[in-house]
Chains A and B, each alone.
Chain A
Amino acid sequence: MLQGFLESLVGTSIGTTVKTSSWIFQTLEALHFIGLATLIGGIAALDLRVLGVAKRLPVAPLHKLLPLVFIGFGINLITGVLFFLSDPVGYGDNPSFMLKMVFILLAGLNALWFELKLAKHVEEWGPGVDASTHAKIVCGLSLFLWAGIITAGRLLPSFAALL
């Protein structure tokens, strides 16, 4: 079923354009890295503070940087979908791609958990105040998952070469 779905996405005009253009793919890659830095910056700053780095930073204003994270994620979602459409079967068959998608899903659920269970406490974690152990676990997991996402993404072409 998945194979049929992937094959149905082959040859879309936008996918073909990305694939055959001499400059679009590279430009999208550069944007994907700029998106990466934007996304990871907002996430790492919040996660590191919750874990106890630079503890005199109040958590609430760091949490308010969330729109920045969404901008980075939006850039990478759009550029990522365009990469995928340039070769749907190639990406779909790639274990590193699948791992990356699973990690993104887990990171998303982890962030949702933070929003639902922990966001109401961020005002309490002012300058010098230790965040809860619960929050530290969620933020530690977040850093681990995003490092995994970058790693799986970077290893993707090597898996493609192996297959």
Chain B
Amino acid sequence: MMLENLDLSQWVLGSIWGYPIFLTFHSLGLGLLVGLLLIIDLRVLGFAKPLPLSELRKLMPYVWFGFVLNAISGVVLFMADATKDFYSNSFRWKMLSILIGLVVAVTLNGTVLREDTKDTPPMAKILATVSLLSWVGAIVSGRLIAYLSPPI
């Protein structure tokens, strides 16, 4: 694939440090993105009720920052391995999981997190559960890209 021939892609793949540096950003972003969403999702599910939802919402910029960090590092990692990733089922599962997780995060941010109710409605709890499952799915399928991809 053409993407793999770019200088950046070649450096990332060829240098000992290129790939791990972007993987490091990817892991730091994961910690922020999934870590903080986990806290928010648990609160929506009914844990730590003294934490007001509208104030937890102020952590969302850090969640988005983690997401952008991972989107950028993810694109670079993809470029270096575009053919392998593109044909990998694990990669496709990961993208689907992220899409679901992102839509749910945007929805929670626009609805439940705007209201300061102690007890969230059942629909909100379903969304928080889907959020947790989708990010766990993204992590697991992401790990599997490295192992289950067909050799090129």
Contacts and interface: CB of A to CB of B under 8 A. Distances in A.
Contact of B24 (A37, A42, A151, A161): A151
Size class of the B contact interface (CB-based, 8 Å)? 35 or more
A155 B22 CA distance: 10
Contacts of B16: 158, 161-162
A17 B42 CA distance: 35
Interface in B37-52: 37-39, 42, 48-52
B56 A37 contact: no
A57 B51 contact: yes
Interface string A59-100: 011101100100000000000000000000000000000000
A56 interface: yes
Interface stretch (A25-33, A103-111, A133-141): A25-33
Residue from B36, B38, B142 with most neighbouring chain A CB atoms (10 Å): B38
Interface of B: 16-17, 20, 23-24, 27-28, 30-32, 34-39, 42, 48-52, 55-56, 58-59, 62, 135-136, 139-140, 142-144, 146-147
Contacts of A161: 16
Nearest to A62: B51
Given A56-B55, A60-B50, A44 B32 contact: yes
Interface in A90-148: 127, 146-147
Interface of A: 26, 29-30, 33-34, 36-45, 48, 53-54, 56-58, 60-62, 64-65, 68, 127, 146-147, 150-151, 153-155, 157-158, 161-162
A44 B35 contact: yes
Contact of B35 (A26, A37, A151, A158): A37
Contacts of B30: 33, 36-37
B31 A36 contact: yes
B27 A154 contact: yes
Given A26-B143, A29-B143, A48-B62, A40 B39 contact: no
A54 B52 CA distance: 10
Given A26-B147, A54-B55, A57-B55, A41 B23 contact: no
B120 to A, nearest CB: 16
Please list the 8 inter-chain residue pairs (A to B) with the smallest Cβ-Cβ separation, ordered nearest first: A41-B35, A40-B31, A54-B58, A37-B34, A40-B35, A154-B24, A61-B50, A56-B55
B17 A30 contact: no
Residue from B23, B62, B143 with most neighbouring chain A CB atoms (10 Å): B143
